[in-house]
């Protein structure tokens, strides 16, 4: 969703001075403490001390209406719209920014309910951040209430590489005493494809059952797109990439379910706990990788 007041909510980079000055990089939003009401300072104990973010910037709170945005300064000659487009093509640069972003979010999430925002969400000043907290106050409040006291766990299920396909049924011989060499080859090829399809179907059905059972324990669940081997770091095909918001009291029960699905079809992997990225999504009007508002 994009707002229709660009001068206020999406100021962008100054048309007179494109790419000049400091931007404000937003990491996450948290509830304010007792002293964090609108117009008041937030106690330093409410966030980890000496927390540094992207490009080593000191993370500071911006309070508004019972919420706190956590931000740091970044140069617009690297994070302005045009420079950012070029920077996003540098995978090493993107990885460094992502690591710094996640490090801040994880530190905040360890201290209390946290609503992370999209990577590389940059504003031209704190006033725009306060406008955001005003505009989306109810959305952030609802999200923070949902994730309070809960953690995100990831479950990935892979098709076992060493699983033999189901044995094909005996094929009928051709009239006249058997297949020709060419027909025999085609028949074996067809049986092999059918075996792989059957294996995939069985694994996918097991993954669906696993996701449903985990979803009954979790407060909320999401299915993400399966990762390709470059991202997963594994050569096996991924058939489930799930995220689950779980109460701590049920985490052991949640983990125990996985044992029943590690079989000849699936290899199941538990990851986490993570900050609740999958359950705090708010559309702030950005593109895929954030950008200047």
Written as six digits, the tokens of 178 are 């058997």
Interatomic CA distance for residues 103 and 52, integer angstroms: 9
Calculate the alpha carbon distances from 27 to 57, 104, 242, 253 in Å.
12, 7, 24, 32
Alpha-carbon dihedral angle through residues 30, 31, 34, 40, given to the nearest 10 degrees = 70
For residue range 240-284, what is the model confidence (pLDDT) as tens digits? 999 999 999 999 999 999 988 888 788 899 999 998 989 987 767
Interatomic CA distance for residues 179 and 101, integer angstroms: 63
Alpha carbon 263 to its chain centroid, in Å, reads: 27
Please, are residues 97 and 54 in contact by the beta-carbon 8 Å criterion?
A: yes
State the pLDDT at residue 101.
95
State the pLDDT at residue 157.
93
Reference 29, options 55, 3, 1, 65; nearest CA is: 65
For residue range 47-66, what is the model confidence (pLDDT) as tens digits? 567 899 999 999 999 999 99
Which three-class secondary structure string do you get for 95-131? HHHHHHHHHHHHHHHHHCCCEEEEEEEEECCHHHHHH
State the pLDDT at residue 56.
93
Please, are residues 158 and 279 in contact by the beta-carbon 8 Å criterion?
A: no
Classify 81 as helix, strand or coil: helix
Q: From the CB of residue 278, how many other CB atoms can be counted at a distance below 10 Å? A: 20
- How are strands ordered across the β-sheet holding 115-123? 60-64, 67-75, 22-31, 115-123, 291-292
Reference 47, options 73, 71, 25; nearest CA is: 71
Written as six digits, the tokens of 109 are 């999430």
State the pLDDT at residue 10.
34
In DSSP notation, 24-80 reads EEEEEEEE--TT-STTSPPPGGGS-TT-B-GGGPBPEEEEETTEEEEEEEEEHHHHS
Interatomic CA distance for residues 257 and 272, integer angstroms: 16
Cut 0.75: pTM above it: no
Burial of 42 (0-12, 13-18, 19+ CB in 10 A): buried
Number of H helices and E strands in the chain, helices first, is: 9, 9
What's the number of CA atoms in the CB half-sphere (13 Å) around residue 19? 8
Per-10-residue mean pLDDT for the chain, 293 residues long?
31 37 94 54 53 94 95 91 86 92 93 91 94 95 93 92 52 52 62 63 89 96 88 83 96 94 87 90 58 53
Alpha-carbon dihedral angle through residues 130, 87, 1, 155, given to the nearest 10 degrees = -100
State the pLDDT at residue 85.
87
């Amino acid at each position: 969703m994009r707002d229709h007041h660009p001068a206020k909510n999406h100021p962008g980079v100054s048309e007179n001075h494109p790419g000049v000055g400091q931007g404000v990089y937003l990491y996450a939003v948290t509830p304010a403490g007792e002293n964090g009401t609108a117009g008041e300072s937030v106690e330093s104990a409410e966030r980890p001390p000496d927390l540094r973010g992207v490009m080593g910037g000191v993370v500071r709170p911006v309070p508004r209406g019972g919420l706190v945005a956590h931000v740091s300064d970044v140069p617009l000659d690297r994070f302005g719209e045009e420079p950012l487009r070029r920077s996003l093509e540098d995978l090493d640069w993107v990885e460094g920014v992502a690591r710094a972003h996640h490090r801040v979010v994880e530190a905040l999430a360890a201290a209390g309910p946290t609503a992370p925002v999209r990577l590389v969400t940059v504003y031209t000043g704190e006033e725009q951040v306060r406008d955001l907290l005003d505009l989306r106050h109810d959305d952030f409040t609802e999200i923070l209430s949902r994730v309070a006291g809960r953690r995100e766990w990831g479950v990935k299920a892979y098709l076992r590489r060493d699983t033999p396909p189901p044995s094909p049924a005996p094929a009928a011989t051709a009239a006249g005493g058997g297949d020709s060499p060419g027909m025999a080859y085609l028949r074996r090829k067809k049986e092999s494809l059918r075996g792989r399809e059957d294996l995939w179907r069985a694994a996918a059905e097991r993954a669906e059952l696993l996701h449903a059972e985990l979803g009954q324990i979790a407060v909320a669940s999401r299915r993400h797109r399966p990762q390709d081997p470059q991202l997963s770091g594994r050569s096996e095909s991924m058939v489930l990439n799930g995220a689950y918001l779980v109460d701590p009291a049920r985490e052991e029960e949640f983990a125990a379910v996985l044992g029943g699905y590690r079989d000849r079809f699936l290899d199941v992997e538990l990851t986490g706990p993570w900050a609740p990225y999958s359950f705090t999504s708010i559309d702030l009007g950005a593109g895929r990788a954030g950008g200047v508002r």
